[in-house]
Amino acid sequence: MTDPKCALCKPKYCHEGTTEDEKLPDFCPMKNFKAVVQNIKQKYGAEDIKDFFLSAALTEKEAYDEKAAREQGKIIPVRPRIREIAEFAKKIGGEKIGMAFCCGLSDEASKAHAILEGHGLEVVSVICSCGGIDKEEVGIPAEYKIRSPKDFESTCNPILQAELLNEAGTAFNVMIGLCVGHDMLFTEHSTAPVTTLIVKDRFTGHNPLISLYTRYHKNIT
Ligand code: SF4
């Protein structure tokens, strides 16, 4: 069976509602996984998914100027992602939400904390270095330390971040700048669903799109 390669498809036929086999590329999952496509369609009506899914759809709709979309067909965004996260939380009735953040984005985390609280949400936040554990204590070789191998260097502790937010019983958790790999461990161990507010990209000021948009990055990607 051919694996899906939607990123290589032009145009994105599904987005236009075109589903006839003869028009679709060979790697199209709509062509090769018809039963899966049909089965998944049913899942959105399930009791444990329906409200969550509808809240996501409404959050998406409200992210645009409704009048401009309806009357002029114009798609004009009206709110940033952090506002979308707050509005989504309210829609699902999630009064307590978690925040797992990187120490390097402490200022941003504290601002996000205040904004979300301003929306009436209770925020539980855990920093990556929680535990104050030296990297060597968890099996990381001294030479993997960023600074001197002789000095204390706290390990990121994504599993603890997840566990503390699990204990707090958050409705969902927001990641702020967790490292590649640590973000995956956090997601894997979080019992609540996870969304991202800020993705870490040290080189681009946490804007990974820059390396896709400019040719100045082509030799380092
Ligand atoms: S689902 Fe099919 S039509 Fe849609 S982007 Fe993927 S390959 Fe293209």
Residues 3-17 have pLDDT tens digits of 999 999 999 999 999
* Three-class SS state of 100: strand
Query: Is 37 close to ligand 1, i.e. is its CB under 6 Å away?
Result: no
Give helix then strand counts, H and E, for the chain: 9, 4
Q: Where are the domains of the chain?
A: 89-221
The CA–CA distances, whole Å, from 141 to 96, 97, 145, 149 equal: 38, 35, 7, 9
Report the pLDDT averaged over residues 106-125: 98
pLDDT of 20-58, one tens digit each? 999 999 999 999 999 999 999 999 999 999 999 999 999
Position 91 scores a pLDDT of 97
Helix (H) or strand (E) holding 125: strand 122-127
Q: Check if the beta carbon of residue 192 is closer than 8 Å to that of residue 165.
A: yes
Amino acid present at 75: I
- Answer yes or no: is pLDDT of 1 > 90: no
Out of 23, 28, 31, give the residue to mutate to test ligand 1, the one with the largest number of ligand atoms within 8 Å of its CB.
28
What one-character DSSP code corresponds to residue 85? H
Report the pLDDT averaged over residues 77-106: 97
Taking the centre of ligand 1 as the mean of its atom positions, its distance from the CA of residue 35, in whole angstroms, is 16
Position 201 scores a pLDDT of 97
Query: Is 67 close to ligand 1, i.e. is its CB under 6 Å away?
Result: no
Share of the chain above pLDDT 90, in %: 98
Query: Is 25 close to ligand 1, i.e. is its CB under 6 Å away?
Result: yes
Q: Name the pairing type of β-strands 96-101 and 173-176.
A: parallel
Report the pLDDT averaged over residues 132-161: 98
Out of 5, 6, 16, give the residue to mutate to test ligand 1, the one with the largest number of ligand atoms within 8 Å of its CB.
6
What does the alpha-carbon distance between residue 158 and residue 174 come to, in Å, rounded to a whole number?
13
Q: Check if the beta carbon of residue 25 is closer than 8 Å to that of residue 6.
A: no
- Answer yes or no: is pLDDT of 147 > 80: yes
Q: What is the dihedral of CA 54, 84, 187, 4, to 10 degrees?
A: 60
What one-character DSSP code corresponds to residue 204? G
Domain 89-221 CATH (choose: 3.40.50.2300, 3.40.50.2000, 3.40.50.1860, 1.20.930.40): 3.40.50.1860
Bond before 11 cis per omega within 30 degrees:
yes
Share of the chain above pLDDT 70, in %: 100
Tokens of 206: 């946490």
Question: Length of the chain in residues, anyone?
Answer: 221
* Three-class SS state of 178: coil
Q: What is the DSSP string of 102-119?
A: -GGGHHHHHHHHHHHHHT
Name which of 140, 131, 187, 132 is nearest 160 in CA terms. Answer: 131
Taking the centre of ligand 1 as the mean of its atom positions, its distance from the CA of residue 14, in whole angstroms, is 6
